[in-house]
Amino acid sequence: MTAPFTAGLVQMAPAKTKAASLAKAASLIREAAASGANMVCLPELFATPYFCRTQDHAAFDLAEPVKGPTTQAMARAARESDVTVIAPFFERRGPGLYHNTLAVIGPEGDVTGIYRKMHIPHDPGFEEKFYFTPGDLGFRAFPTPHGHIGALICWDQWFPEAARATALLGALMLFYPTAIGWHPSEKAEFGATQREAWMTVQRAHAITNGLYVAAVNRVGIEGKGKAYGGSLEFWGSSFVADPMGRIVAQAPVDAEAILTVDITPALVEQTRRHWPFLRDRRVDAYDGLTELWGEE
């Protein structure tokens, strides 16, 4: 059975330039490693502002290939600190074809795999369908020196199917790099409920799949004005839930932070033995899950 390891969650805001953000992230990875982390996850689109607040063709210039500045810089950071790094980036796959992607980078600096965001939201201030083609690689569990892990992205975290499909591929932990926050005009009335729902659904993934879940959010206010698309307040609150859904560590709402959390793979095995949800699935009865709705 895989030995215990330490996960590092980097809750951060971007710097003024991509180069500065990459340098900042590398420094935070070193800090997490110095605190004992073996595996470090960064937030969604961490190297740039959250440009999806509006529809702007010029923002496509921020995209890069898989072998681009972000993965190269994070590969150096992974080698220097001897850690696995989960590094999200804005992928330019080809002319007019872009994805919201992450790379899993091993301790030797090799990209062991990529995941392209499958579920793409489109709401005021989150205009992602304008930018991103839905992922075509499916759900994946990536081998690491510490066992297989799953890595999904932000909006994916609301879909139980994504968590279950990744768990069934052997993941003992799910990482969700995230960019989620409040519209200023909604925060007073709906803010607490929205944040609680976000935490609850991910704790449920931990419980129903018997694994660890880590949500790694960005933090800070981006943009100006109160209208939709004007500004967003990213609510931080990065956390890790254990296989029983207990929150074992959480970052603040309004500040950058590094969390380091001890992960015990044996607890995944123990929990699944006592709560055998995977065993008791009725795979013969789930045909309807491949349809958008029931019988027409």
- List phi, psi (to 5°) of 284: -75, -10
Domain boundaries, given as residue ranges, for the chain: 5-290
Distance of alpha carbon 23 from alpha carbon 29, whole angstroms? 10
The secondary element (H helix, E strand) that includes residue 258 is strand 257-263
Give, in words, the CATH class of 5-290.
Answer: alpha beta
Phi, psi of 191 (to 5 degrees): -60, -50
Per-residue model confidence as pLDDT tens digits over 101-128: 999 999 999 999 999 999 999 999 999 9
What confidence tier does 75 reach under pLDDT thresholds 50, 70, 90? very high
- Annotated active-site residue 154? The verdict is yes
Annotated catalytic, 52?
Answer: no
Catalytic residue, candidates 41, 117, 127, 128: 117
**Of 44, 64, 127, 233, which is the active-site residue?**
44
- Catalytic residue, chosen from 18, 127, 128, 154, is 154
95/75 Cα distance (integer angstroms): 26
Other Cβ atoms closer than 10 A to 170: 13
Look over the chain and give the mean of its residue pLDDT values, rounded to a whole number.
97
Beta strands 5-11 and 257-263 are antiparallel
- pLDDT (average), residues 207-215: 98
Element (H, E) at 205: helix 184-209
**Would the pLDDT of 136 be above 70?**
yes
Backbone angles phi, psi at 31, to 5 degrees: -65, -40
- Residue-wise pLDDT for 221-271, tens only, equals 999 877 777 899 999 999 999 999 999 999 999 999 999 999 999 999 999
Mean pLDDT of the 4-32 span: 98
Residue 43 pLDDT more than 90? yes
pLDDT of the residue at 260: 98
